[in-house]
């Protein structure tokens, strides 16, 4: 399926409403209800596969840290809510994901994946990761093919960098920036202080 949707950083995140599974229950999730918080949208190909559970579990394991940064996670695939529930009810040693700290959204219609331009020709979602800010604006986009997973640590670092520069608009974060590291003043003359120190 092809699309002419060229979503970019700086665009308003397309809203959606869909059924999700959270705490072994079905619930309706609407992206716009998360305004005021940062949201990590975590698209993945399919439940009951190989790389997907490693990512889904890894993000659940750092959920408390992400939540402490005023952020939420929504996992999204083209599976049904019933498939999500079965996957959560299966223990991790048997290929399931067990209890998760965030919802898994059903995109059975594939409209969410299509609107975020991550639906491939086989009808699966690519490994798309979107960080949406508290105003509903896309600040980061990463899309992998199906065969390799994403870095939870880099996602966390990127979220922290986004929040830092939004809180400090006269500063920018250099390569490999980590919280507490030096930043660069956003002007030709003041930026020299950073480069003198490296």
Q: What is the pLDDT of residues 140-195, one digit of tens each?
A: 999 999 899 999 999 999 999 999 999 999 999 999 999 999 999 988 888 888 88
Hunting for tokens 């809510």 — which residue is that? 81
Q: Among the residues of the chain, which ranges form H helices?
A: 51-61, 63-67, 81-89, 111-115, 152-167, 192-197
pLDDT, one tens digit per residue, over 59-89 is 999 999 999 999 999 999 999 999 999 999 9
pLDDT, one tens digit per residue, over 93-129 is 888 999 999 999 999 999 999 999 999 999 999 999 9
Give the whole-angstrom CA distance, residue 55 versus residue 104. Answer: 13
State the angle between helix axes of 152-167 and 51-61 in degrees (0 to 180), rounded to the nearest 10: 50
Three-state SS for 193?
helix
Domain residue extents for the chain: 17-150
Structure tokens at 57: 């579990």
What superfamily would CATH give domain 17-150? Answer: Glutaredoxin (3.40.30.10)
Classify burial at 115, counting beta carbons within 10 Å of its beta carbon; exposed 0-12, middle 13-18, buried 19 or more: middle
Catalytic-labelled residue, pool 18, 39, 52, 73 = 52
pLDDT at 5: 61
Is there a contact between 18 and 105 (Cβ–Cβ < 8 Å)? Answer: yes
Hunting for tokens 């120190």 — which residue is that? 197
| 52 catalytic per annotation | yes
């Amino acid at each position: 399926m092809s699309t002419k949707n060229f979503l970019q950083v700086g665009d308003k995140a397309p809203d959606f409403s869909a059924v999700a599974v959270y705490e072994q229950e079905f619930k309706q999730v609407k992206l716009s209800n998360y305004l005021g918080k940062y949201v990590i949208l975590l698209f993945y190909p399919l439940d009951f596969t190989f790389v997907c559970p490693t990512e889904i579990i890894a993000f659940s394991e750092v959920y408390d840290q992400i939540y402490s940064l005023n952020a939420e996670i929504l996992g999204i695939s083209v599976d049904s809510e019933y498939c999500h529930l079965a996957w959560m009810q299966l223990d991790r040693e048997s290929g399931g994901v067990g209890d998760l700290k965030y919802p898994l959204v059903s995109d059975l219609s594939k409209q969410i994946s299509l609107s975020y331009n991550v639906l491939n020709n086989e009808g699966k979602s690519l490994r798309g990761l979107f960080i949406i800010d508290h105003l509903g604006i896309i600040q980061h986009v990463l899309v992998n093919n199906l065969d390799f997973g994403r870095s939870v640590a880099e996602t966390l670092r990127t979220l922290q960098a986004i929040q830092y520069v939004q809180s400090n608009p006269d500063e920018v974060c250099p390569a490999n920036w980590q919280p507490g590291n030096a930043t660069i003043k956003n002007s030709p003359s003041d930026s020299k202080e950073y480069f003198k120190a490296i």
